[in-house]
Amino acid sequence: MHQNQIGRPLTSITVVHGLAVSVDTTSPDGPRLTAAARAAETYAGDRELKARLGRIRIRDGREITVQPVKDADPADVQGAVWGTPMAVLLQQRHVLPLHIAAASVSAQAVGFVGPVAAGKSSLVAALVDRGHRLVTDDLAAVTYDAKGRPALQPGPPVLAIWGSSARQLGWPTDEAHRLKAGVDKFRYDMAGRLVEGPRRLAAVYVLTEQPVAETVIRPVTGFEKFEVFHSGATYNAEFLDTPDLRTWHFHEVCRLAQQVPTFVVARPAGDLDLRDLANRVEHHLAEPRPVE
């Protein structure tokens, strides 16, 4: 379960975020990822990103190409496509990307959102450690089942967490798992613990630190709930830069907010107790509540 992900070749991933993908790493210009189009669908868009490791171009909801700078770390180049570039590609296909980490609990997706270092990935790791499965880390593609219910597609089979969280869970923090030299963050291969298909999105939890004596979980409703998805969970909000994209995004967010039970997890400031928080989430999910 805790094998090193760094050596996994990019070409070994053939389905991600619900897309059938193929990867060519032999081009002298850099890696190229191609996503198959669905029958009778066409997409539009052309965006170039300038990153520390080089130039990344995303075109027509079909292709991501990376032109790395000289001496760029191959692991960084391969990993680059799974974040912002993939979110842009999903937007070009009018598939909503969310900035969320999610686990499958009782065969349904449970998502966690919040600011940087809120503990989203770490809480998912704690749930995986308790026998649940990974859905995605950091980026999720929202699709809908035959009944019009939102679901999350599986992401890449990898989970990255800070060293403090890994040590709490007893996961290895050796150099083979270290995300990058000198950084106290570690990456784990989840190929054996990744769900095999989309999972209905059963609930979303917003992780926050607040001046409370103990952890409290409360429901989110109304405009606050809309804002969770519109601002807090939106991936690449800065790229919603055309009227068509903004209109599409608004309708998608409304659709999610109307259907997905959403809660704030308010916990005391300080170190995150992952096992306690995972236990609270499991118990909260088991409580009966009205169907939304």
3-state secondary structure of 154: coil
Which amino acid is it at 94? Answer: H
- Please state, rounded to an integer, the average pLDDT across all residues of the chain: 88
The number of distinct structural domains making up the chain is 2
Same domain, yes or no, for 148 and 47?
Answer: no
In whole angstroms, what separates CA 36 from the centre of its chain? Answer: 21
Domain CATH number, residue 99: 3.40.50.300
Asked if residue 11 is part of any domain, the answer here is no
The number of C-alpha atoms within 13 Å of 21 and in the hemisphere containing its C-beta is 29
Q: Is 190 left (phi over 0), alpha (psi -120 to 50) or beta?
A: alpha
User: How far from 114 is each of 55, 60, 207, 228, CA to CA, in Å?
Assistant: 29, 30, 5, 9
Same domain, yes or no, for 28 and 142?
Answer: no
Same domain, yes or no, for 68 and 175?
Answer: no
pLDDT tens sequence across 226-250: 999 998 899 988 889 889 999 999 9
Alpha-carbon torsion 18, 20, 25, 27, what sign? negative
As a whole number of angstroms, the distance between CA 255 and CA 72 comes to: 41
Same domain, yes or no, for 232 and 250?
Answer: yes
Question: What is the chain's alpha carbon radius of gyration, rounded to the nearest angstrom?
Answer: 19
Range of weakest confidence among 9-23, 242-256, 275-289: 9-23
Same domain, yes or no, for 160 and 262?
Answer: yes
Q: Is 10 left (phi over 0), alpha (psi -120 to 50) or beta?
A: alpha
Let me know if 197 is exposed, middle or buried by CB neighbors in 10 A (0-12, 13-18, 19+). exposed
Asked if residue 148 is part of any domain, the answer here is yes
Same domain, yes or no, for 189 and 272?
Answer: yes
pLDDT tens sequence across 123-145: 999 999 999 999 999 999 999 99
Domain that holds residue 44: 18-94
Asked if residue 8 is part of any domain, the answer here is no
Extract long-range pairs of 65-68: CB within 8 Å, 24+ residues apart. Answer: 65/29, 65/30, 65/31, 65/32, 65/33, 66/30, 66/31, 66/32, 67/29, 67/30, 68/30
Q: Residue written as tokens 């055309």?
A: 242
Average pLDDT over residues 34-52: 81
The pLDDT value recorded for residue 121 is: 96
pLDDT tens sequence across 186-214: 999 998 999 999 999 999 999 999 999 89
Same domain, yes or no, for 43 and 121?
Answer: no
Asked if residue 61 is part of any domain, the answer here is yes
Same domain, yes or no, for 129 and 213?
Answer: yes
Same domain, yes or no, for 115 and 242?
Answer: yes
Q: Does 6 have pLDDT greater than 50?
A: no
Same domain, yes or no, for 147 and 284?
Answer: yes
The pLDDT value recorded for residue 12 is: 59
As a whole number of angstroms, the distance between CA 60 and CA 42 comes to: 8
Same domain, yes or no, for 277 and 135?
Answer: yes
Same domain, yes or no, for 67 and 117?
Answer: no
The pLDDT value recorded for residue 9 is: 45
Asked if residue 3 is part of any domain, the answer here is no
pLDDT-derived band at 39 (thresholds 50, 70, 90) equals low
The pLDDT value recorded for residue 290 is: 61
Asked if residue 9 is part of any domain, the answer here is no
Asked if residue 34 is part of any domain, the answer here is yes
